[in-house]
Chains A and B, each alone.
Chain A
Amino acid sequence: MMTLEKIAQELSLEVRTAAGKLGREVTGGYASDLLSCVMAKAQPGNLWVTLQSHPNIVAVASLLNLAGVVVTEGVAPDSATLSKAEEEGIPILTTPLTTYTVVGRLFALGISGVER
């Protein structure tokens, strides 16, 4: 198991919100840009990798009790997303890397997907 803080360091992710919640253990990863797929598959404590950045990603992460959201490809989340994420205590981390690369690096760190 690895904390979100450690993952953020290893992948040089930029922590945009909820810096106080990085101590959480990440239970696995999930990647998709389709919100209903995330709702169906992502498990509590998972790290979600996506290039969506609108405020609803916070609602999804909060409803599923996810550890955090990595927004890829240099997409800048809008201020409504950031303020909502801060309010809900959902860490949003950004990176210029592609989703593919982020997932590959997460696997290399031992963060695997949850198939069910």
Chain B
Amino acid sequence: MSEVTRLQELAYEVKIGDVMTRDVITVEPQNTMAELRNVLRDHRISGAPVLENGELVGIVSVEDLIKALAAGEMNARVGEKMTRNPVTIRADETVVTAIKYFNRYGFGRFPVVNSEGKLVGILTRGDIIRGLLKQLELEYHREETLRYRVSHIFEELISDLTSITLRCRVEAQDFESAGEASSKIKRALTRLAVPPQLVRRAAIVAYELEMNLIIHTTAGGEILAEVQPDRIIIRAMDTGPGIPDIEKALQPGFSTAPDWVREMGFGAGVGLNNVQRCADEMLIESPNAQWTSVKVVIYLNHRHRPAEKAA
């Protein structure tokens, strides 16, 4: 499924110029159909653009050749049998455009031109498939190299406990930037080759804690994500006002958010429940309701996990 999706995405990203065949075999209008036959046979191709003084004037295919053969017109000129003013496609368009062209016109090939209309290549369905597969392979290798590099950080840096800490400042009432801290954490965890299911859980935890800092604190706070070889620890710390009754705060639907915040869809009173659901361990501290610290642990290794959690 994900491979198919990536392939579809690639169709929107990869340019026709990257997948087309550059060395185009061309013929001229004054060539005979018999000469065309030799060209097609020698190069094992099924059609060719027709150039006159370097300008694209037509396209001729094996079908035209068969018709000429049936009509005994092998001495006719390509110029008489070719399709004039062929539909061209631009090298800077994306592959998805080409796929639409193939579906719309039903042709086997399209001459590819640059922005000045000069022939720069030719495109068949086979070129598209080969080009996209090559791109997928490149990406796979890049990802493998990346995975190798980051996953070895912990083995290459020797200490009693190596960890990477990401620190993100979150401002109170800053709804415009809401989600930025958790997005950064999500990206970093992905780069560190944390499995996607765990990245998802960590992202939900970080998001809800970030929102709590924005909605409820007087002076904002900090989100810390610490990656150790066997666990991710996410901490949110603020300077108040603190939570008077933590048990109550954990009741689904309990919320102290003002109405205007709720109207934006925040403060539904289930944020901490989301955190709890995604955490292997959660500890909330708010001594004398002065400040709040939330610590969440997500284990990277199944064996260390106290109880299986649904993501």
A contact residues vs B (CB 8 Å cutoff) = 3, 20-21, 23-25, 33-37, 39-40, 44-45, 50, 52, 54-56, 58-60, 62-65, 80, 116
B interface majority secondary structure: helix
Contact of A24 among B9, B175, B265 (CB under 8 A): B9
User: Is A56 within 8 A of B178, CB to CB?
Assistant: yes
User: Is B180 within 8 A of A59, CB to CB?
Assistant: yes
Taking A40-B270, A59-B179 as contacts, is the C-beta distance between A25 and B4 under 8 angstroms? yes
Among the interface residues A39, A52, A58, A65, which one has the most CB atoms of the partner chain B within 10 A?
Answer: A39
Task: Verify if B277 is at the interface (C-beta below 8 Å from A).
Answer: yes
Give 28 A-B contacts (CB < 8 Å), ordered by A residue: A20-B13, A23-B11, A23-B96, A24-B9, A25-B1, A25-B4, A35-B265, A35-B266, A36-B211, A37-B270, A39-B204, A40-B204, A40-B270, A40-B273, A44-B200, A50-B265, A52-B264, A54-B264, A55-B176, A55-B178, A56-B179, A59-B180, A59-B183, A59-B207, A60-B207, A62-B179, A63-B203, A116-B310
- Between A and B, how many residue pairs show CB distances below 8 Å? 83
User: Is B9 within 8 A of A21, CB to CB?
Assistant: yes
Q: What's the nearest-Cβ distance from chain B to residue A112, in Å?
A: 17
A52: chain B residues at CB < 8 Å are 264-265
Taking A23-B96, A59-B178, A64-B200 as contacts, is the C-beta distance between A35 and B268 under 8 angstroms? yes
B96: chain A residues at CB < 8 Å are 23
Q: What's the nearest-Cβ distance from chain B to residue A1, in Å?
A: 8
User: Is B274 within 8 A of A63, CB to CB?
Assistant: no
Task: Verify if B208 is at the interface (C-beta below 8 Å from A).
Answer: yes
Taking A52-B265, A59-B182, A63-B186 as contacts, is the C-beta distance between A39 and B208 under 8 angstroms? yes
B contact residues vs A (CB 8 Å cutoff) = 1, 4-5, 8-9, 11-13, 96, 175-176, 178-180, 182-183, 186, 200, 203-204, 207-208, 211, 264-266, 268, 270-271, 273-274, 277, 310
User: Is B178 within 8 A of A24, CB to CB?
Assistant: no
User: Is A37 within 8 A of B264, CB to CB?
Assistant: no
Taking A34-B265, A35-B268, A40-B277 as contacts, is the C-beta distance between A56 and B175 under 8 angstroms? yes
- Nearest-CB residue, chain B, relative to A41: B274
User: Is A37 within 8 A of B268, CB to CB?
Assistant: yes
User: CA–CA, A21 to B6, complex, Å?
Assistant: 11
Q: What's the nearest-Cβ distance from chain A to residue B106, in Å?
A: 21
Contact of A63 among B13, B179, B268, B273 (CB under 8 A): B179
B4: chain A residues at CB < 8 Å are 25
- Nearest-CB residue, chain B, relative to A55: B176
B264: chain A residues at CB < 8 Å are 52, 54, 56
User: CA–CA, A75 to B274, complex, Å?
Assistant: 28
Contact of B208 among A20, A21, A34, A36 (CB under 8 A): A36
User: CA–CA, A114 to B241, complex, Å?
Assistant: 38
User: Is A36 within 8 A of B182, CB to CB?
Assistant: no
User: Is B5 within 8 A of A25, CB to CB?
Assistant: yes
Rank and list the top 8 A-B pairs by shortest CB-CB distance, nearest first.
A59-B179, A34-B268, A23-B8, A20-B12, A35-B265, A56-B178, A52-B265, A36-B270
User: Is B12 within 8 A of A23, CB to CB?
Assistant: yes
